[in-house]
């Protein structure tokens, strides 16, 4: 059976979207997944599933999370080889660019080429974005804070659809652990 790394969007933000790791694990197992592991409390989950497609896995997890929590939890899954490629792209794209902060917005669906190009052109001074498949690689040259940047996951979602954001340290650790 295939394994996936699933990323949950917008959990543990504020008082109303709490979803502790043990509860995530239980909901994922209730959705029929095995070999469930979590990493930190931001919604990073490794699963093994007999589902035939990534989309069917995402849909099953989203139904389980809604039933468990009472709110929607968009879920974005990657096969281990896909996530390893995301990390390789991140390292390659940032080479030669001053990096203060580096993030990856993981997309539910691949971005159309024209929208990807338009997003890449939107960053502010010292901000870079590259779209590769279902990942938007964001590099900030200055350490003024992610939330002061023009290029954020909010902009990515506005332009390209459902996405969740992780810093490169988390992506690197998840790949090291599970891929």
Question: How much is the pLDDT for 9?
Answer: 96
Question: How much is the pLDDT for 49?
Answer: 97
CA 149 from chain center: how many Å? 19
Say if residue 101 is in the same domain as residue 167: yes
What contacts 152, CB < 8 A, 6 or more positions away?
Answer: 138, 146, 165
CB 77 within 8 A of CB 4: yes
Tell me which residues of the chain have a pLDDT lower than 50.
Answer: none
- Any long-range contacts for 46-50 (C-beta under 8 Å, 24+ apart)? 46/3, 46/4, 46/5, 46/6, 46/174, 46/177, 46/178, 47/3, 47/4, 47/5, 47/6, 48/1, 48/2, 48/3, 48/4, 49/1, 49/2, 49/3, 49/4, 50/1
Domain ranges, residue 163: 80-178
Question: How much is the pLDDT for 96?
Answer: 86
**Domain stops at, among 78, 110, 129:** 78
**Domain stops at, among 12, 43, 78:** 78
Question: How much is the pLDDT for 8?
Answer: 97
Say if residue 69 is in the same domain as residue 93: no
> Which segments of 51-152 does DSSP mark as H helices, in order?
54-69, 80-94, 113-120
Question: How much is the pLDDT for 46?
Answer: 98
Cα separation of 49 and 55, whole Å? 12
Question: How much is the pLDDT for 106?
Answer: 98
Say if residue 39 is in the same domain as residue 121: no
Say if residue 69 is in the same domain as residue 85: no
Question: How much is the pLDDT for 16?
Answer: 86
Say if residue 86 is in the same domain as residue 64: no
The two structure tokens encoding residue 79: 């096969």
**Domain stops at, among 78, 108, 143:** 78
Residue 50: CATH number of its domain? 3.30.70.1280
Say if residue 88 is in the same domain as residue 171: yes
Say if residue 113 is in the same domain as residue 40: no
pLDDT in tens, 74-97: 999 999 999 999 999 999 999 989
Question: How much is the pLDDT for 45?
Answer: 98
Say if residue 84 is in the same domain as residue 123: yes
């Amino acid at each position: 059976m295939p394994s996936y790394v699933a990323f949950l969007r917008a959990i543990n933000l504020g008082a109303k979207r709490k979803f502790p790791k043990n509860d995530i694990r239980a909901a994922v197992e209730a959705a029929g997944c095995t070999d469930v592991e979590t990493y930190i409390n931001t919604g990073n989950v490794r699963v093994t599933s007999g589902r035939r497609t990534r989309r069917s896995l995402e849909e099953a997890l989203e139904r389980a999370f809604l039933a468990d929590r009472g709110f929607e939890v968009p879920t974005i899954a990657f096969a281990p080889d896909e996530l390893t490629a995301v990390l390789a792209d991140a390292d390659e794209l940032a080479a030669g660019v001053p990096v203060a902060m580096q993030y990856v917005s993981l997309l539910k669906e691949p971005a159309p080429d024209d929208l990807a190009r338009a997003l890449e052109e939107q960053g502010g001074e010292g901000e870079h974005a590259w779209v590769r498949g279902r990942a938007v690689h964001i590099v900030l040259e200055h350490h003024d804070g992610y939330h002061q940047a023009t290029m954020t996951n909010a902009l990515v979602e506005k332009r390209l659809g459902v996405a969740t954001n992780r810093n490169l340290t988390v992506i690197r650790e998840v790949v090291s652990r599970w891929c």
